[in-house]
Amino acid sequence: MQSVQIYDTTLRDGTQSEGISYSCEDKIKIAQRLDKIGFHYIEGGWPGSNPKDFDFFHRIQGIKMRQAKIAAFGSTRRPYTATENDASVKAILESQAPVATVFGKSWDFHVTRALRTTLEENLAMIRETVAYLKSRGLEVIYDAEHFFDGYKANPAYALETIKAAGSGGAETIVLCDTNGGSLPAEILEIVRVARSNLSVPLGIHAHNDGEMAVANSLMAVQAGAVHVQGTVNGYGERCGNANLCSIIPNLTLKCGIETIPREKLTRLTELSHFVSEVANVSPDPHQPYVGASAFAHKGGVHVSALIKDYKTYEHIDPELVGNGRRVLISELSGMSNMLYKYKEHNLSIDQQSPEGKLILEEIKQLENQGFQFEGAEGSFIILMRKAFNGYSEPFSLESLRLLTEIRENNQAYSEAIIKMRVGERVVHTAAEGNGPVNALDNALRKALEVFYPGIKSMHLTDYKVRVLDEKDGTGATVRVHIETSNGLRSWGTVGVSQNIIEASWQALVDSIAYGLLEGGQITHDTENDSPAE
């Protein structure tokens, strides 16, 4: 079976993405996760560029890698400088990484304008740097920077540069679409030409400025490349790098090419979310394969077909990459969406049941009022449970009073006084907050934690307010969406009202009720799961 080496540069090229910065500890954690999943190479950074990267290489030496080789990145020697005296080359050696990834110029325009040297000296810089690092016992990967632009400008010289790397002893020569502007047909043709001129294995390093990085990487493999570079989630400078979370499943599942071990493919979604969490970047829900919306279905016709066979509207089984199928509930839903949700939550109802149709009609009416259940599955599940006899409210409100005042220091002060009923017991308490919603949340939790200790693990991770009818000004209807997490999973809930406190209350109550239900902290009579009369 054909195989391709996966080379990850999340820790170097990925950090050039706007808004992303990893600590040394972050980089260690990501490297360990990449190795565990079966990546072949992990580029740790440029040891000559900053202390953090040098510290990474020092610390990673004490960690045993299962499979991955750690690569140190750097440039060819400077013009007219002895290789052994060049600072970048010295830094690579001092990193003690077993692999050196060296980049050099392939575009004559860059040689004369950026390096301000001769074309002949550039060839010597490439050949001598690679040969010197090889002589010191390192595996050398040569990154031919701007190769495709260079080839289009001066084919003969671009080919001479990679031949120089080959004569220096590079194990792999990687052709880089550094500006990210090449098209797949160009990549296919140029890689084929390069392959016919070299016996050294070729790789591809694509940027995404033309939204072609994944396609260009696949074309390069089709043309004979056996090494693919990229980043997790496509992080990288400008528009990003080739996204390995798309490249790996495309190669493995669509092309039948071995990449990471197939049994590790189910960890891909987890890896994507892990890296985004460490990077403190919200995961892209629309990312192919690993995004939350990659296998989300909204239209009733689609869901009706999915129930019969997932292949009707999914290009792969989402479980192959560790993702899951989601059926959304909205005004576009049909009875098929409802039936899917009932089955997902172990409820049974006849397709022709008037109760089910009434629930669907109620959802559509609520959405017409401004509710939106796509990102608020917690509220939808609570609504659905209320229609079945097996569900009982875990708590109910007796009364609520909110006080807000601005004191002499011009800071707002809020207090919520709440009376709740839990079964036969009534609890009356109060709590402060930095605003009315925060005070409300604190009071609600304070009242219920004595009955449901699991609430302590739940915390709000997001709170959004959207005005639905701006023309009504301060009297407009608002939709409040909150996201809650218990450290293991997250869920969304929603509330709608002309009063922002009431809308917030609706979302908060659903959030806690759903967390208790899913955590098994409230009893639910599954034997009595029949539609309420």
Q: What is the DSSP string of 482-524?
A: EEEE-SS-EEEEEEEESSHHHHHHHHHHHHHHHHHHHTT-S--
pLDDT-derived band at 527, boundaries 50, 70, 90: very low
pTM: 0.71
- For residues 461-468, average pLDDT: 85
Q: What percent of the chain has pLDDT over 70?
A: 85
- Give the pLDDT confidence score for residue 174 in this predicted structure: 98
- Can you give the pLDDT at residue 301? 61
Note the pLDDT tens digit of each residue in 437-447: 889 999 999 99
Choose which CATH entry (3.30.950.10, 2.40.50.100, 3.20.20.70, 1.10.760.10) describes domain 5-260: 3.20.20.70
Between β-strands 5-8 and 41-45, what pairing exists: parallel, antiparallel or unpaired?
parallel
Given this model, what pLDDT does residue 68 score?
97
pLDDT in tens, 401-457: 999 888 777 787 899 999 999 988 999 999 998 888 889 999 999 999 989 998 988
Position 529 scores a pLDDT of 46
Q: How far is CA 506 from CA 300, 341, 370, 393, 445, in A?
A: 27, 22, 13, 14, 14
Per DSSP, 464 falls in state E
pLDDT for residue 329 is more than 60: no
Give the C-alpha separation, 234 to 254, whole Å.
Answer: 20
User: Is 194 a residue whose pLDDT tops 50?
Assistant: yes
Query: What is the distance of C-alpha 88 from the center of its chain?
Result: 33
Closest to 101 (Cα-Cα) out of 229, 4, 216: 229
Measuring CA to CA, which residue among 231, 467, 490, 273 is closest to residue 376?
490
Kindly report which listed range (129-133, 196-200, 416-420, 498-502) carries the lowest average pLDDT score. Answer: 498-502
pLDDT of residue 525: 44
Q: Higher model confidence: residue 527 or residue 315?
A: 315
Return the pLDDT at 353. 62
Instruction: Choose the weakest-confidence range: 84-93, 98-107, 519-528.
Output: 519-528
* Average pLDDT in the chain: 88
Pairing state of beta strands 326-327 and 396-406?
A: unpaired
Confidence of residue 526 (pLDDT cuts 50, 70, 90): very low
Q: Which two tokens stand for residue 274?
A: 């892990």
- The per-residue pLDDT for 459 is 87
Q: How confident is the model at residue 337 (pLDDT cuts 50, 70, 90)?
A: low
Cβ–Cβ contacts within 10 Å for residue 520, how many? 9
Residue 526: how many other CB atoms lie within 10 Å: 10
* 495: Cα separation from own chain's centroid: 28
Which H or E element spans position 94?
helix 87-95
Mean pLDDT of 339-355: 60
184-188, 349-353, 400-404, 409-413: which range is least confident on average? 349-353
**Side-chain-side CA neighbours of residue 471 (13 Å):** 0
Closest CA to 168 of 214, 211, 130, 206: 130
Give the confidence band of 388 by pLDDT, cuts at 50, 70, 90.
Answer: low
d(CA 87, CA 92): 9
- For 484-500, the pLDDT digits (tens) are 988 888 888 999 998 98
DSSP secondary structure string, 225-273? --EEEEBGGG--STT-B-BHHHHHHIIIIIS--B-S-GGGGGGHHHHHH
Q: Which of 143, 142, 160 lies closest to 151, judged by CA?
A: 160
Whether residue 186 has pLDDT greater than 80: yes
pLDDT band at 364 (very low <50, low <70, confident <90, very high): low
Q: Which range among 375-384, 404-413, 464-473, 509-518 has the greatest average pLDDT? A: 509-518
Question: CB–CB of 364/490 below 8 Å?
Answer: no
What are the residue ranges spanned by the domains of the chain?
5-260, 296-373
Mean pLDDT of 146-166: 98
- Residue 6 is predicted with a pLDDT of 98
- What is the distance between the alpha carbons of residues 58 and 215, in angstroms, rounded to a whole number? 36
- Contact predicate 7/228, CB 8 Å: yes
Q: What per-residue confidence (pLDDT) applies to 391?
A: 66
Element of type H or E holding 74? strand 69-75
Of 16-30, 329-343, 390-404, minimum mean pLDDT range: 329-343
How far is Cα 8 from Cα 242, in angstroms, rounded to an integer?
A: 10
Q: How many CB atoms lie within 10 A of CB 296?
A: 17
Percent of the chain at pLDDT exceeding 90: 63
The average pLDDT across 470-484 equals 80
**246, pLDDT greater than 60:** yes
Instruction: Identify the bridge partners of residue 206 per DSSP, sorted by sequence position.
Output: 177
Enumerate residues 6+ apart whose C-beta is below 8 A from 422. 394, 395, 448, 451
Both tokens of 323, joined, read: 């993702």
* pLDDT band, residue 531 (cuts 50/70/90): very low
